[in-house]
Amino acid sequence: MRNGDFQLDRPRLIPDEPFPPYSYVTGRFPHPIRDPLGHSFGVTSAPCSAPQPDQWRDCRAYVYGLDLFNHGYYWEAHEVWEAMWHACGRNGVTANFFKGLIKLAAAGVKTREGRLAGVTTHAKRAAAIFSLVAAKLPAKQECFFGLPLDQLHTFAASLARDPLTIRKLSGAPVEIVFDFVLSPRESH
């Protein structure tokens, strides 16, 4: 499945939260926060508290980050999850989970920048982090924050092994580069 085949069939988890007009890519669009023309210039984010894994549905920022990632806003998803990582104190199982998502989003940014070495580095790190998180959970727990850790690990590891499977990009303001969808499950 390639980019054109799956752009429209991804449901929104929070349909009332608008997407920015573009997904940031270095050198192609204004920096969202630092540039006065940026889509988030002058916007102050609400403080983020540490989310609870079993209450992920109630964490609007987390779920919006999933929407952003699934719809090609990798830099923006990275920013949302980085705030959550900081809220978790940057240490521990929950913080590591967010760090894995951050690395996966960074791989999306590097893909859009055409930097395959960066894709490999970030994807490899994401795979290692998801393995670490899974090892810290009870043996029968398959999901964390609604996401299946084995699928996150498998996707990140396969991306690290073969970043060239990603199609040529068009340079559009938003492009979905992965066929993988972060689709939370109701059970955890």
Model pLDDT for residues 88-145, shown as the tens digit of each residue: 999 999 999 999 999 999 999 999 998 999 999 999 999 999 999 999 999 889 999 9
Percent of the chain past pLDDT 70, that is, above it, reads 92
Average pLDDT over residues 160-181: 83
Contacts of 84 (CB under 8 A, 6+ apart): 48, 50, 51, 59, 61, 62, 65, 98
pTM above 0.75, yes or no: yes
Q: Which pLDDT score, from 0 to 100, does residue 18 have?
A: 94
- Say which residue, 62 or 140, is predicted with more confidence: 62
Average pLDDT over residues 172-186: 90
Which tokens go with 69? 């990632």
Percent of the chain past pLDDT 90, that is, above it, reads 69
Backbone φ and ψ of 102, nearest 5°: -60, -45
Query: Does 5 have pLDDT greater than 80?
Result: no
Average pLDDT over residues 71-81: 96
- For the segment(s) 3-18+54-165, the CATH number from 1.10.10.10, 3.20.20.80, 3.40.50.10860, 1.10.3450.10 is 1.10.3450.10
Q: Where are the domains of the chain?
A: 3-18+54-165
| pLDDT-based confidence at residue 76 (cuts at 50, 70, 90) | very high
DSSP per-residue codes, 95-164: HHHHHHHHHHHHHHHHHHHT-HHHHHHHHHHHHHHHHHHHHHS-TT--EETTEEHHHHHHHHHHHHH-GG
